[in-house]
Structure 1
Amino acid sequence: MKLSPTFRDVLASAEGPLVGLWAASGSPVAAEIMAGSGADLLLIDGEHGPVGIDGIVPLLQAVSAYPVTPLVRIPWNDHVLVKQFLDAGVQNLLVPMVSTPEQATDAVRAVRYPGPAGEREGGRGIGSALARSARWGRVPGYVGAADDFVSLTVQIETAEGAANAAAIAAVDGVDALFIGPADLAGSMGHPGKPGHPDVVTAVDGVIDAARAAGVAVGVNAFAESDADRVIARGAQFAFVSADVTLMVQGSDAAVASFRERTGGEAAQQEADSY
């Protein structure tokens, strides 16, 4: 039995920038709808979304029939969580709030099994024969080749992380950096203002550092102008919307259109930008 290509593999074979969407609602139906959109990537959010270990398998199963690469963001850089999510079948892990090379190294250790004869450290518990990760033992040689089946992306979303981007990108085992401008803005003293010039400069600096290190980098960019700018700067992927965002926008627009046509008063709402 073969597993799907990892995010690392997809990045290596990409002929242009990749576009991604978020599955933040925790709904397998919504995730399947997003997976069928033609997006290259789908980010399943276990940090801010209502997705735990029990919910991750149905989401992965729901999108598995589509030509989309799912990434899963865990709540924190924690060895227990990494082990559980990987054993549940997550191949592409996103670890949030990585601000130092030491934290990146710890995340790498968490996703790796120990090397033979102690040649390297690895903190992932070996239980693949009992887990979906190796399809309950049906993937031949899973333990020995596990690095080929898993990719690790770390999220840069603090001022400290942005300053350490080059060192984080240099950590062996980090396949990509993902920039979160919202938390980065808060960390820099501009909460709710990811478009602040200081934040834009920091985002550009992380992109430049990753590119110089030869490591893939992407950005969360829901505004079209932001997505276009970071791709032009050198980012290889961008996440441009989410299931919940599209539902909010679509439902608001449908109701407002009806109110306008029938003489009612449209609700005036302004949502925060992630």
Structure 2
Amino acid sequence: MPLRVEQTFAARLAAGGRQTGMWVCSGSPLVAEICAGSGLDWLLIDAEHSPNGIESLLAQLQAVHGYPVSAVVRPPIGDAVLLKQYLDLGAQNLLIPMVDTPEQAAELVRAFRYPPHGIRGVGSALARASRWNRIEGYLENAAESVTLLVQIESVAAVDNVASIAAVEGVDGLFLGPADLAASMGLLGQQEHPDVVSAVEHCIRVVKAAGKPVGVNAFAEATARRYIDAGVDFILVGADVAMLARGSEALAAKYIPAAEGGDRASY
């Protein structure tokens, strides 16, 4: 029996309403499934700064399948060969880090599309993405079955944000204040007024371009500020950070506190 393509994250964004989510960085399918049933709108399964390879990503995608949550996967780099593997794996929604120019964004669009409009290699008969050719018309409609999000996280990207947002095939832009702060010479200071101002500038520009815009913000006051600024999707926590802070809080109930004070969540 023919199967159908699942709803993309781009379609959920287009339907309106803010999408609130969290990072899944543990590499654990069990943890991913726990997070998938939390009531959040989306999960970002990370492979840039987390211990994830193709096999562990597959297990996590399978674990969250069937829950009312969108799974977005972040590869470590926007390499066309790696993206082909992720797409064939059935990762419909990808967030590509460190996109600084419209030329980079355009090449990513090509990596997402089959010829003649792109360079994605054809292997649908072998791939989970097409459910091994059980999805009718997968090849012809593959571009509509995926979401391409690009990450703005450098001074150069901020300077180019309008032209990046204008690239056809880019479904949304996501702002990374931590790396942006580092790029601005303010390492670890994503709450610095200059960083916040740059993020809010990008929010305005991307929204004016008619594209969805998202942001990472673990501090609640900052998250609510960006929500008020109009972001369409946001990440407000991470599995590993919650476990770290929660286990520290548990220890603090029974063990005298060590010097050093509170740790930052991000």
8 A Cα contact 1:6 1:91, kept in partner: yes
- Of 8, 11, 14 in structure 1, the residue corresponding to residue 10 of structure 2 is 8
8 A Cα contact 2:241 2:265, kept in partner: no
Q: Does the alignment pair 1:130 with 2:122? A: no
Q: Does the alignment pair 1:95 with 2:89? A: no
What is the TM-score normalised by the length of structure 1? Answer: 0.94
Distance 1:211 1:106 in 2: 23
Distance 1:233 1:248 in 2: 30
- Of 191, 194, 205 in structure 2, the residue corresponding to residue 195 of structure 1 is 191
Query: Cα deviation per residue 1:89-134 (whole Å; 9 max; x = unaligned)?
Result: 100011000010001001111011114xxxxx30100101111110
Point out where structure 2 has 5 or more consecutive residues left out of the alignment: none
CA RMSD of aligned residues (A): 1.0
**2:111 aligned residue:** 110
Point out where structure 1 has 5 or more consecutive residues left out of the alignment: 116-120, 260-264
8 A Cα contact 1:192 1:272, kept in partner: no
**2:257 aligned residue:** 266
Q: Does the alignment pair 1:177 with 2:173? A: yes
Distance 1:94 1:199 in 2: 21
Q: Does the alignment pair 1:161 with 2:157? A: yes
Secondary structure of the 2:231 match is coil
Identity %: 54
Distance 2:265 2:184 in 1: 17
Structure 1's consecutive aligned runs of 4 or more residues displaced over 3 angstroms after TM superposition are: 267-270
- In the TM superposition, 1:1-274 aligns within 5 A as 1-14=3-16, 16-115=17-116, 121-259=117-255, 265-268=256-259, 270-274=262-266
Secondary structure of the 2:138 match is coil
8 A Cα contact 1:204 1:230, kept in partner: yes
Distance 1:109 1:271 in 2: 41
Distance 1:258 1:3 in 2: 51
8 A Cα contact 2:245 2:265, kept in partner: no
Secondary structure of the 1:145 match is helix
Query: Cα deviation per residue 1:226-248 (whole Å; 9 max; x = unaligned)?
Result: 11111111111110000001101
What is the TM-score normalised by the length of structure 2? Answer: 0.96
Q: Which amino acid aligns with 2:124?
A: S
Judged with a 3 Å threshold, the aligned counterparts in structure 2 of structure 1 residues 219 and 209 are, in CA distance, closer, same or farther, namely same
